[in-house]
Chain A
Amino acid sequence: MIPFVAKRLWNGFLTLAALATLTFFVMRLAPGGPFSRNRKISPEVQANIEAAFHLDEPVYQQFARYIWGILRGDLGPSTRFRDYSVNDLIAAGLPTSLTIGFWAILVAALVGIALGLAGALRRNGWTDYAAGAVGVIGIAIPIFIIGPLMQAYFSVYLGWLPVGGWNDGWRSLILPVLVLALPNIAYISRLTRSSTIEVLRENHVRTARAKGIGPARVLLGHAMTGALLPVIAYLGPASAALITGSILIETVFALPGIGRFFVDAALNRDYPLVMGITLVYGGFLIIFNIMTDLVRGWLDPRIRHEG
């Protein structure tokens, strides 16, 4: 187990290094620079500004400077948000994104699994149809439609919750968490339903039933772990995606998360900020994938890892 984790972490580190290198150079291929402006300032002043951010150096030198910075835990200054370093901005935005993402994945997993199980056990019953309907809505209606609809109803019409912003504590959380969870509820419930149905047909479940074990115990004791394997495989990367922030959700609900920093940074060619957030995303993805594999191994002896 420990060698497995160490090996995966090492691979993850290599992946991150490759990601950093690739992003660093690809980003500079995009036309326009951080200080492209409506032609206003004199070339000398433009050069001074670029020099202040070391943009006048050859690219390989900038790269070396950047890598050296990362090794010291310094992601550099932001060119778009001049008052902040990239470390500051990630520290400011990540907690918001993590909070929203954590609650969204929790709601999505609990509701999704419950709906999926209910659907599988009472196939073609009303719960199944209801779950199916939620699934279709969740997947088919995009966030930028359902978000404003919910804002218009719950916030403008009923006045229960704030439309956006991060000023009302938990009340600011409800709508974004719901909207972010919805498509995931849909996926998780569909996955749970189909894999449960499949598992319930398998021999060991049939044997358990033949032994006279009640349906609840069959489900929880014999079918559940098998049924949840695909769900867990889905949850790993999905958690990484949700927790590191949904750009659309943050835009629609005016939330100060790192997703919006990412878009703003890319549009304004803020190289250090794009790099920093890319590395955070990459790091989370790698960690969640390792965790997913560990949980799956623990649940399923067939894919248990050597060592």
Chain B
Amino acid sequence: MKMHLRTTTAGLALLALVAFALPARADDTLDRGVGSEWSSLDPHVNFDAAAAWILADAYEGLVNFDSKGALIPGAAESWDMSEDGKTYTFHLRAGLKWSNGDPLVAQDFVNGMLRTLNPETASEKGYYFYSSVQVKGAAGLANGETTDVSTLGVTAPDERTVVIEMVAPAPHMLQLMSSFQMAPLHGPSVAAHGSAAFIDPALVVSNGAYVIREVVPQSHVLLEKNANYWDAAKVSIPFVKYHVTEDVNTELLRYKAGEIDVTYDIPLAQMESLKTEMPGEVLTFPSTYLIYYSFNLSLPPFDNVDLRRALSLAIDREVLEGKIVKGGAIPTYSYGGGFDPAYLGPQIVEASMTQAEREALARELYAKAGFGPDNPLKLSVASTVAEINVKRANGIALMWKKVLGVETEVNAQERKAWLDLFYTDDWGVFADNLVGDFAGPETFLSYMRPSAEPGYDWVKPEYDTAMDVAAAIPDLPKRYEALAAAEKILLDDYIFAPIAIEPYRHLVKPNVKGFEPSVAGYHNSQFITLE
């Protein structure tokens, strides 16, 4: 009987061992977290930065970005700019192929842009071509004014040449020529299968370093190396699996358990302890996500520039981000600076003051605007319900209270409601943000043009003029000087208080090499290796 019992126990233990033994971890797979699920794997529709990682692996634009985010040749091996800076001619590599072996030709890139602009595609990305840069004819096609594709200033004179004509010179146009904006279109598969041509592994035809092998909504996308990619010999990792990691705490546990090699984010509350627990694995670096607090210019008393400046000065950005929010955001006083080191921006007085000086000036301006202890300003800050945003809003409210005696109500709304709240007058201050289209000042500065973007109720013809001056200059250093002059006009009106640049936060396993700081957020798997 005793013997029998022992055998049973041993058997059960063996069974448990077999059952629970970890399956051999596939070390030929890079497991990456992507946060919430992508809204689309259609490269001409997708607008999410995280899904752009997947698509940058699967599709290649005319240019590409290396592991540090520097612009490098992609499907085009070289390009020339016309003297006036308005026309770019891209020369494709010889022998480019789609993943199914079809030849990849210049017209496929033209068709890609046409599809993005076509109202029937219902893509939000057309604005890259009619607003961020002004490609000839793009606006008319996007607005539905015309369906005549020959009106577009993008042509393929031969199989290896793409010519893009713009209305005005735009040296940053190259930043918009990677797969996120400029993925080519494999016409036959999309014509035959519709949107299934982007998610059904049996039907997807792509031209990037990887091809899509498996798509499970709310779970993962599995990519496999594309043998037909022109640089396939240099692609080191055979498989890449992008996991939907909606819950940041679960993602951390999955990282600790070895299920994920690179996380999408890090829980704010754990940042400090993780830095000591796993030094070298916590990676943070600036992004193009700018946080700023906009004032409601059409709602008195926020039409008073002294008051707006006082509110901006009273915020101790170092304490706010370093001691209260603790997310690693980088305090800032500028709007277009901090992304491209070549852009020096205007002189900003606030930036060189001490916080005590700022607060003294804030009190002075606050009194000048007619407010004081007996007559405190009451305002409402519209924020989203995200923990980090509420924390920041409460921190700012506290500083306004302490320095000026302002009584602030934080109105935290669900994201979609917050977006619509902007168009109402139910806020004095809007906890605003903007994600730049590329790591440079112009994406931010053109967004604020009174003529381009309705919504801020800012009337300033001088700013539009200054931006027009900059927009006519093809030479980048000179253009940056003109942009700095424009930014000075913008900042001097204090229509918003710049707060901080939000960083990317990732945990990266020590054996993952080549996942490096990249301000524009590009991390193509083709440049990553596993050791």
Q: In whole Å, how far is A277's beta carbon from the nearest beta carbon of chain B?
A: 13
Interface residues in B131-148 by Cβ distance below 8 A to A read 131, 139, 142-144
CB-defined contacts of B131 to chain A, threshold 8 Å: 42
Interface size of A by Cβ–Cβ distance < 8 Å? Answer: 57
- The reply to whether A36 and B142 form a contact with Cβ atoms under 8 Å apart is no
Q: Specify which of B254, B257, B415, B420 lies most central, judged by the most chain A CB atoms within 10 Å of its CB.
A: B257
Contact of A30 (CB < 8 Å), options: B36, B139, B417, B421: B417
- The reply to whether A254 and B244 form a contact with Cβ atoms under 8 Å apart is yes
- The reply to whether A83 and B195 form a contact with Cβ atoms under 8 Å apart is yes
Name which residue of chain A comes closest to B39, CB basis: A82
- The reply to whether A41 and B416 form a contact with Cβ atoms under 8 Å apart is no
CB-defined contacts of B219 to chain A, threshold 8 Å: 165-167, 254-256
Q: How far is the CA of A254 from the CA of B241 in the complex (A)?
A: 15
Contact of A159 (CB < 8 Å), options: B36, B198, B246, B257: B257
- The reply to whether B127 and A83 form a contact with Cβ atoms under 8 Å apart is no
A226 within 8 A of B: no
Contact of A163 with B126 at beta-carbon distance under 8 Å, contacts A32-B419, A83-B198 already known: no
CB-defined contacts of A161 to chain B, threshold 8 Å: 20
Contact of A254 with B246 at beta-carbon distance under 8 Å, contacts A163-B259, A164-B259 already known: yes
- The reply to whether B20 and A92 form a contact with Cβ atoms under 8 Å apart is no
Contact of A48 with B122 at beta-carbon distance under 8 Å, contacts A163-B259, A165-B219, A256-B218 already known: yes
Q: How far is the CA of A160 from the CA of B20 in the complex (A)?
A: 5
CB-defined contacts of A155 to chain B, threshold 8 Å: 253, 257
Contact of A251 with B247 at beta-carbon distance under 8 Å, contacts A165-B220, A260-B218, A269-B416 already known: yes
CB-defined contacts of A35 to chain B, threshold 8 Å: 124
Q: How far is the CA of A267 from the CA of B195 in the complex (A)?
A: 24
Interface residues in B298-343 by Cβ distance below 8 A to A read none
Q: Mark A72-90, 1 if CB is under 8 A from B, else 0.
A: 0000000011111000110
B45 within 8 A of A: yes
- The reply to whether B143 and A167 form a contact with Cβ atoms under 8 Å apart is no
CB-defined contacts of A132 to chain B, threshold 8 Å: none
Q: Mark B78-118, 1 if CB is under 8 A from A, else 0.
A: 00000000000000000000000000000000000000000
Q: How far is the CA of A161 from the CA of B198 in the complex (A)?
A: 33
Q: How far is the CA of A31 from the CA of B142 in the complex (A)?
A: 27
Contact of A151 with B220 at beta-carbon distance under 8 Å, contacts A45-B124, A48-B119, A52-B122 already known: no
Q: In whole Å, how far is A266's beta carbon from the nearest beta carbon of chain B?
A: 9
B439 within 8 A of A: no
CB-defined contacts of A166 to chain B, threshold 8 Å: 216, 219
Interface residues in A1-60 by Cβ distance below 8 A to B read 30-33, 35-42, 44-45, 48-49, 51-53
- The reply to whether A164 and B250 form a contact with Cβ atoms under 8 Å apart is yes
B455 within 8 A of A: yes
Name which residue of chain A comes closest to B122, CB basis: A52
CB-defined contacts of A257 to chain B, threshold 8 Å: 218
Q: How far is the CA of A49 from the CA of B121 in the complex (A)?
A: 8
Q: In whole Å, how far is B178's beta carbon from the nearest beta carbon of chain A?
A: 19
A156 within 8 A of B: yes
- The reply to whether A81 and B40 form a contact with Cβ atoms under 8 Å apart is yes
Q: How far is the CA of A51 from the CA of B124 in the complex (A)?
A: 13
CB-defined contacts of B422 to chain A, threshold 8 Å: 39
Name which residue of chain A comes closest to B127, CB basis: A41
Interface residues in B156-207 by Cβ distance below 8 A to A read 195-196, 198-199
CB-defined contacts of A93 to chain B, threshold 8 Å: 217-218
Interface residues in B411-428 by Cβ distance below 8 A to A read 413-422
- The reply to whether B254 and A165 form a contact with Cβ atoms under 8 Å apart is yes
Q: Mark B390-425, 1 if CB is under 8 A from A, else 0.
A: 000000000000000000000001111111111000
Q: In whole Å, how far is A249's beta carbon from the nearest beta carbon of chain B?
A: 11
Q: How far is the CA of A90 from the CA of B241 in the complex (A)?
A: 23
B449 within 8 A of A: no
- The reply to whether A83 and B40 form a contact with Cβ atoms under 8 Å apart is yes
Q: How far is the CA of A155 from the CA of B22 in the complex (A)?
A: 10
Interface size of B by Cβ–Cβ distance < 8 Å? Answer: 62
Contact of B259 (CB < 8 Å), options: A45, A92, A165: A165
Contact of B247 (CB < 8 Å), options: A32, A39, A156, A254: A254
Q: In whole Å, how far is B344's beta carbon from the nearest beta carbon of chain A?
A: 27
- The reply to whether B39 and A80 form a contact with Cβ atoms under 8 Å apart is yes
Contact of A52 (CB < 8 Å), options: B120, B250, B251: B120
Q: How far is the CA of A261 from the CA of B119 in the complex (A)?
A: 27
A280 within 8 A of B: no
B23 within 8 A of A: yes
Q: How far is the CA of A126 from the CA of B249 in the complex (A)?
A: 37
- The reply to whether A44 and B247 form a contact with Cβ atoms under 8 Å apart is no
- The reply to whether B416 and A32 form a contact with Cβ atoms under 8 Å apart is yes
Interface residues in A210-266 by Cβ distance below 8 A to B read 251-257, 260-261, 264
Name which residue of chain A comes closest to B121, CB basis: A52
Q: In whole Å, how far is B296's beta carbon from the nearest beta carbon of chain A?
A: 14
Contact of A151 with B37 at beta-carbon distance under 8 Å, contacts A31-B416, A40-B124, A165-B219 already known: no
Interface residues in A188-212 by Cβ distance below 8 A to B read none
Q: In whole Å, how far is A183's beta carbon from the nearest beta carbon of chain B?
A: 20
Q: In whole Å, how far is B442's beta carbon from the nearest beta carbon of chain A?
A: 15
B243 within 8 A of A: yes
CB-defined contacts of B39 to chain A, threshold 8 Å: 80-82
- The reply to whether A39 and B454 form a contact with Cβ atoms under 8 Å apart is yes
Name which residue of chain B comes closest to A30, CB basis: B417
Q: How far is the CA of A89 from the CA of B195 in the complex (A)?
A: 14
CB-defined contacts of B22 to chain A, threshold 8 Å: 159-160
Q: In whole Å, how far is B377's beta carbon from the nearest beta carbon of chain A?
A: 26
Q: Mark A123-138, 1 if CB is under 8 A from B, else 0.
A: 0000000000000000
Contact of A89 (CB < 8 Å), options: B127, B217, B415: B217
Q: In whole Å, how far is B328's beta carbon from the nearest beta carbon of chain A?
A: 22
Q: How far is the CA of A89 from the CA of B40 in the complex (A)?
A: 13
A306 within 8 A of B: no
Q: Specify which of A49, A167, A268 lies most central, judged by the most chain B CB atoms within 10 Å of its CB.
A: A167
Q: How far is the CA of A163 from the CA of B257 in the complex (A)?
A: 7
CB-defined contacts of B419 to chain A, threshold 8 Å: 32, 36-38
- The reply to whether A52 and B416 form a contact with Cβ atoms under 8 Å apart is no
Q: How far is the CA of A38 from the CA of B290 in the complex (A)?
A: 13
Contact of A32 (CB < 8 Å), options: B254, B259, B414, B453: B414
CB-defined contacts of B40 to chain A, threshold 8 Å: 81-83
Q: Which residues of A contact B (CB under 8 A)?
A: 30-33, 35-42, 44-45, 48-49, 51-53, 80-84, 88-89, 92-93, 148, 151-152, 155-156, 159-168, 171, 251-257, 260-261, 264, 267-269
Q: Which residues of B contact A (CB under 8 A)?
A: 19-20, 22-23, 36-37, 39-42, 45, 119-120, 122-124, 126-127, 130-131, 139, 142-144, 195-196, 198-199, 216-220, 243-247, 249-251, 253-254, 256-257, 259, 413-422, 433-435, 453-455
Known: A82-B45, A168-B23. 8 other contacts (CB 8 A): A39-B422, A39-B455, A41-B126, A42-B130, A151-B253, A161-B20, A256-B217, A269-B416
5 closest cross-chain pairs (CB), A and B: A32-B416, A256-B218, A82-B40, A48-B119, A52-B122
What are 27 of the A-B contact pairs (CB < 8 Å)? A31-B413, A32-B416, A32-B417, A32-B420, A36-B420, A41-B127, A45-B124, A52-B119, A82-B40, A89-B217, A92-B216, A92-B217, A148-B250, A148-B253, A151-B250, A155-B253, A162-B259, A163-B254, A171-B19, A251-B246, A254-B244, A254-B245, A254-B246, A256-B216, A256-B217, A257-B218, A267-B416
